[in-house]
Structure 1
Amino acid sequence: MIVTIVIAVSRADGLTTKDKLLHNGPAAVIAKSPVQGKDKAARGKAFKQILVALIVNFGTINTGMAFGFSAVALPQLEKNTSSIVVTEEQASWIASLSAVGTPIGCILSGYLMDVIGRRLTLIITELPLILGWILIATAQNVNMIYVGRVCVGLGSGMLGAPVRVYTCEVSQPHLRGMLGALASVGVSSGVLIQYVIGSATSWQVLAGISTMVPILALIGMLFLPESPNYLLTQDKEDRAHYSLARLRGSTYNIDEELQKMIAFKEKNHVEPLKKPSEIIKALMAPSTLKPFAILAIYFFLYQWCGVNTITFYAVEVFEKSGATLDKYTATITLGVVRVIFTVVGCVLGRRCGRRPLTFVSAIGCGTTMLAFGTYMYYSQYWKSAGIEPVATWVPVACVLIFMMACTIGYLIIPWVMIGEVYPTQVRGIIGGMTTCVAHLSVFSVVKLYPFAKTLLGVYGVFWMYGTISILATVFFYFFLPETKGRTLQEIEDYFCGRSKYLKKASIPQDNLQETHPEIGWKNNP
């Protein structure tokens, strides 16, 4: 880290601050950031943190499978040759019912995280997922599919917050952005798996194969250590020390990090909340409500940019867009692009920060949805007039570029921030409530798509999505904080009002400027 000191000229005696320091000696001790080499040596072993993050995020593949299942299963179920034939209304329920069970799972796991711990909650989340996929795979009627989708949604909702909170709590700041985004890689991979397998097999076989993911995830989670942050809130310092040792390696100064966490806990009176009145008071505090409001609005805006309409109805959207490319080939290509750019987003999240990637998504998604809707408008006109469509590559290009833009920001940043912005005492509960809001937004946009399509026309729906995304940039500009490179304690201090700086340089200015106000810091990475 390179630290630059900006010297201001003193008008009182014509001497610069530099002259004063040279002639009179230093007036204050200026603490500099560690140099790059020592900073790297002081970090824990990245491999251990990455391995733990990969294990815990493996289960998120299932969430993507829940999203992608309806895209390939519904066209099969709507055929007269299907063993279970469904109507358009029943199809919309199959697509959206997973999002009905999800909010319940979010609230439940949010509560369990703060009561029984992150690790045990993660293990429990896999059980409804296994049951749900078995019900769908063996379904004899549409009601069994309904129940199976609700169970899968319940498990997906239970999984969302614990995965992200756990990943952020066990990761060091320089890895947290990248590892926190692994959940989005898992979701995108799950969508792609469903698109690929679903295009080559029946929906029953697809559901049976999907059962293997939560089973393997359950086995992996049995070997995870508990979150040190959670153990400290339970006054289990010895276990927290042991957990940190497993996560950081033997060469890392575990005692130093642990003492910083304990000091923060004691300074801010972070104690377990046992009474309902204590929990409600913590939930109603500005340090909780401010980030909750920001993320709740973020999730609503990005869901109504149309991403899950594209994901859940991918085959139908390509079929009606006027594109000449095979609809299943286009859908699989969409899944591949989503996975690739989710990985790209993980890397960029570590380097670029949360705000810039969000702006890329908002503007990119907005412009491509407006262009896509415009092409669909002309496509319908050409079809009714008997005119041969032109530039049939345009709708496919719009959807692919839309997914690229959406993935590197919208599909990663708010999910990473769930594990970053909330106070330690209620991080589990409020994290669950946030994922609940996110999935309620998913349900609303997916369930209302057929209605909106009837009311506005297909092209009108995508014009609406594009407009919402463009307007969202105003909200993000004024209210979205930058958390890149900050410790969880620094972020909590910011929302509690103990610190005024979060979007600025990552080195606090207060101590220096109290002693020498004419000296400002510039922190150049």
Structure 2
Amino acid sequence: MEKINIQPVKNYGIKATVAQTLATVAQSFLLIGLGMELTVSTLVIGDLRSSSPQSGFSMTQNEASWYGSILFIFHPIGSVMSGFLQERFGRKRCMILANVPSILGWILLYYTNSITMLYVSTISMGMSIGFSEAPIISYVGEVTEPRLRGSMASIASMSSMIGMLLISILGSMYHWRIVALLSIISPVACMCFIACIPESPMWLIAKGRNEEAEKCLCWLRGWVEPNVVKSEFHELIHYNEVSGALQGDSTSRKSSSILQYLALFKDPLVYRPLRLVMLFFFFSFILCLIPCRPFLYIILERVGIFDYHDLILVLLSVLQIMACIITILTVNRLGKRFLTLFSFATNTFLLFAFGGYLIALNNNLISSTRWIPLLIISSIFFFGAYGLSSMPWILLSEIYSNESRGVATGVSAALSYLLIFILTKSYLPVESLLTLEYSIILFAVIGVFGALYSYYYLPETENKTFLEIEEFFALNKRVH
């Protein structure tokens, strides 16, 4: 196979960094809303599963299991829909429309007075999350320079952590109904901010709207004149023309029919990165304790630190944001591969330590000490956010070919949240069967396999162009 000549992309300097940061921050308000929607169930379950709920109705363990996971059933529907629609209507329009079901979900949660209404509100939120994921991922990857792609994608991931922190702070101050009412501000602000940023130049070029694409590219590269971006603009046009050449396909798939899009998944440039990222999602969800998070208050009670649950939730959110900030500052220097392997090893060790502590405590080998489980849980959340939880989403923005990016990211996001649903829904039955301590040990064992898989198959994509990344998957390379 003949290797395609890949030209380095120009470094535009500080003004371009500012412009791309503004665009990333604007669309990241969607992810702030996502973090809020993912976390509010913890507040609701904590209240309705308490001995004296303040909301006029209560919740059984089975209902709590469904409420904590049902959001992830309906997210895939929105993700698949957005994967197709963003190819037709663009990233920007899809991101604006994604806020509508979010607003509806918060209103329904505020007025809910039954378990059924709780389900309906979280279904609406799940549709919003799903509808926003694919355009967010595609947009960040397409509008940023290779030197900034990892940092900008980390900002997007950090935004969901900020949303979790906001819900945690509001939950420590107000009842969850008031929290739901205040949360409406986020999607409304998001619609206003996204209206002010440009459309993806790469999508516009794919649609033959080159003049608009050039104007958007000038905005994103620091509000410069067209002659400044001339080289990169022609490189984008060239990439749009040759993307797919690595698999020896001389025809361009321009049809927008669903069957044509689905046929893309027979392409090695789609199914190989899809396999990689889905396994990455599985391992990272386990090591970051994602299946346990809706039931975090229950776990804190089991380890004897429930009295401070509101403050602990705020602390964990702050730690995750700090980890994301460190990721933003270090990913370009250390690389995504090193951060991933480091986080895999660290969280696997921490899970073994947590499981060992619980086994020793339950067998009366040690006395209960509050600071040990708090330290371990805090460390798991911190190192999970430093490399693990954000990295698969960063990879989604850059590992798919141009012609498949919109649909493939939508399907990937859908499958990831379907995976979260399965893991979350099955967590309580698994814990009942194995007990908490051996469930944690099982997670640690899975982490060992995840670290080994990443060592052999995860490529370094930092500072790589889209064509360089496509070449890796086209040749079916292995890192070691």
**Could you tell me which residue of structure 1 aligns to residue 62 of structure 2?**
89
**Could you tell me which residue of structure 2 aligns to residue 52 of structure 1?**
23
1:130 aligns with 2:100: no
Shift of 1:169: 0.4
Shift of 1:419: 1.0
**1:188 counterpart SS class:** helix
Return the index of the structure with the highest Cα Rg.
Answer: 1
In structure 1, what is the Cα distance between the partners aligned to 2:297 and 2:72? Answer: 20
Listed as ranges, the matches of 1:231-250 within 5 Å are 231-248=204-221, 249-250=223-224
Write out per-residue CA displacement over residues 245-295 of structure 1, whole angstroms, 9 at most, x where no aligned residue.
Answer: 111121572111111111222334655333444323322100111101100
**Could you tell me which residue of structure 1 aligns to residue 336 of structure 2?**
354
In structure 2, what is the Cα distance between the partners aligned to 1:43 and 1:186? Answer: 22
Write out per-residue CA displacement over residues 164-212 of structure 1, whole angstroms, 9 at most, x where no aligned residue.
Answer: 2101100011111100112211111111111121122111111111221
**Could you tell me which residue of structure 1 aligns to residue 3 of structure 2?**
none
**Could you tell me which residue of structure 2 aligns to residue 24 of structure 1?**
none
**Could you tell me which residue of structure 2 aligns to residue 230 of structure 1?**
203
Amino acid at match of 2:178: V
**2:363 counterpart SS class:** helix
Tell me which of 31, 39, 43 is aligned to 1:68.
Answer: 39
**Could you tell me which residue of structure 1 aligns to residue 381 of structure 2?**
403
Write out per-residue CA displacement over residues 223-265 of structure 1, whole angstroms, 9 at most, x where no aligned residue.
Answer: 2211011111111111111111111121572111111111222
TM-aligned CA distance change 1:191 to 1:101, over 3 Å: same
**Could you tell me which residue of structure 2 aligns to residue 219 of structure 1?**
192
Tell me which of 330, 347, 353 is aligned to 1:365.
Answer: 347
In structure 2, what is the Cα distance between the partners aligned to 1:280 and 1:209? Answer: 40
C-alpha contact 1:291 1:422 (8 A) present in aligned 2: yes
In structure 2, what is the Cα distance between the partners aligned to 1:208 and 1:123? Answer: 20
RMSD: 2.3
Amino acid at match of 2:298: E
TM-aligned CA distance change 1:356 to 1:177, over 3 Å: same
In structure 2, what is the Cα distance between the partners aligned to 1:324 and 1:430? Answer: 42
C-alpha contact 2:288 2:388 (8 A) present in aligned 1: no
Write out per-residue CA displacement over residues 25-55 of structure 1, whole angstroms, 9 at most, x where no aligned residue.
Answer: xxxxxx9989xxxx65578621111101100
In structure 1, what is the Cα distance between the partners aligned to 2:270 and 2:448? Answer: 28
C-alpha contact 2:283 2:447 (8 A) present in aligned 1: yes
Shift of 1:87: 1.1
Shift of 1:327: 2.5
**1:45 counterpart SS class:** helix
In structure 2, what is the Cα distance between the partners aligned to 1:369 and 1:336? Answer: 21
Amino acid at match of 1:394: I
Normalised to the residue count of structure 2, the TM-score between the two structures is: 0.91
In structure 2, what is the Cα distance between the partners aligned to 1:171 and 1:84? Answer: 48
Tell me which of 425, 429, 437 is aligned to 1:451.
Answer: 429
Query: In proportion to residue count, which structure has more helix?
Result: 2
Amino acid at match of 1:427: R
**Could you tell me which residue of structure 2 aligns to residue 3 of structure 1?**
none
Write out per-residue CA displacement over residues 294-346 of structure 1, whole angstroms, 9 at most, x where no aligned residue.
Answer: 00111112112252134322222222113487222222211111111111122
**Could you tell me which residue of structure 2 aligns to residue 10 of structure 1?**
none
- Percent of aligned positions that are identical: 24
Tell me which of 78, 88, 98 is aligned to 1:105.
Answer: 78
**Could you tell me which residue of structure 1 aligns to residue 404 of structure 2?**
426
In structure 1, what is the Cα distance between the partners aligned to 2:327 and 2:271? Answer: 28
Greater displacement, 93-102 / 450-459:
93-102
C-alpha contact 1:56 1:221 (8 A) present in aligned 2: yes
TM-aligned CA distance change 1:33 to 1:225, over 3 Å: closer
Normalised to the residue count of structure 1, the TM-score between the two structures is: 0.84
1:442 aligns with 2:420: yes
C-alpha contact 1:233 1:270 (8 A) present in aligned 2: no
C-alpha contact 1:324 1:392 (8 A) present in aligned 2: no
Amino acid at match of 2:343: S
**1:260 counterpart SS class:** helix
**Could you tell me which residue of structure 2 aligns to residue 338 of structure 1?**
320
Write out per-residue CA displacement over residues 459-518 of structure 1, whole angstroms, 9 at most, x where no aligned residue.
Answer: 111111111112211110111111000112322233233x97x969xxxxxxxxxxxxxx
TM-aligned CA distance change 1:452 to 1:264, over 3 Å: same
Amino acid at match of 1:141: S
C-alpha contact 2:75 2:127 (8 A) present in aligned 1: yes
C-alpha contact 2:33 2:186 (8 A) present in aligned 1: yes
Greater displacement, 312-321 / 159-168:
312-321
C-alpha contact 2:292 2:424 (8 A) present in aligned 1: no
Give structure 2 stretches of 5+ with no counterpart.
1-5, 246-250
